[in-house]
Amino acid sequence: MANVTSSSVICCAGWEHFPHDADIGIRGFGATPAEAFEQAAVALTTIVTHAEVKPLGAVEVTCEAPDLELLFVDWLNTVIYEMAVRKMLFARFAVTIEGTRLKATLWGELVDVARHAPACEPKGATYTGITGRARNRRRVVGGLRRGRMKEPINGHQPVHACRRYNLAH
């Protein structure tokens, strides 16, 4: 994806990874903040795997925060939490935002270590460099901490440890 600055007009949804003090940064782009949040969640999943994730089961979540920037961090941490406790990866996201309250459905499947070959387990979103103040609030940016996978997923050891994501891929 081409670099998009706050002065650019965002005409379509998308996401990107970028170097970040916390470990890796993600950006979500969309016509609305909700669409940008959805795209950022897709970027989060691609940090874990490049394999196809099937939308086999749905999980409902809600978040609330004082402003859009903090809501973005809470959203990412909610997705990370659901990945960890349910041992799932998510492929599709439907987000609605009313004020500073978010409701979402996450569709995904249980981690299949052989097929998904998880690269790492996200530990949490950080507040470093967080911004949702791009023009028309259509872009959100955040950083993530990643760590080694400490325990087996669904009884399987991870295929490989966490590695830095190469933006050239």
C-alpha atoms less than 13 angstroms from C-alpha of 153 in its C-beta half-sphere? 26
153 assigned to some structural domain: no
In order, the DSSP letters of 72-101 are HHHHHHHHHHHHHHHTEEEEEEEEEEETTE
159 assigned to some structural domain: no
2 assigned to some structural domain: no
Q: Is the pLDDT of residue 27 over 70?
A: yes
pLDDT of residue 127: 73
Taking only the tens place, the pLDDT of each residue in 110-122 is 999 999 999 888 8
Taking only the tens place, the pLDDT of each residue in 72-91 is 989 999 999 999 999 999 99
In order, the DSSP letters of 136-163 are GG-EEEEEEEEE---S-BTTB--SS---
123 assigned to some structural domain: yes
Q: How many domains does the chain have?
A: 1
137 assigned to some structural domain: yes
Using an 8 Å Cβ cutoff, are 140 and 98 in contact? no
Q: Which domain holds residue 130?
A: 16-147
Tokens 């998308």 correspond to what residue? 14
166 assigned to some structural domain: no
pLDDT of residue 53: 97
Task: Write the CATH number for 99.
Answer: 3.55.10.10
152 assigned to some structural domain: no
65 assigned to some structural domain: yes
Taking only the tens place, the pLDDT of each residue in 123-142 is 888 776 665 543 334 445 44
The answer to which of 53-57, 65-69, 89-93, 154-158 has the lowest mean pLDDT is 154-158
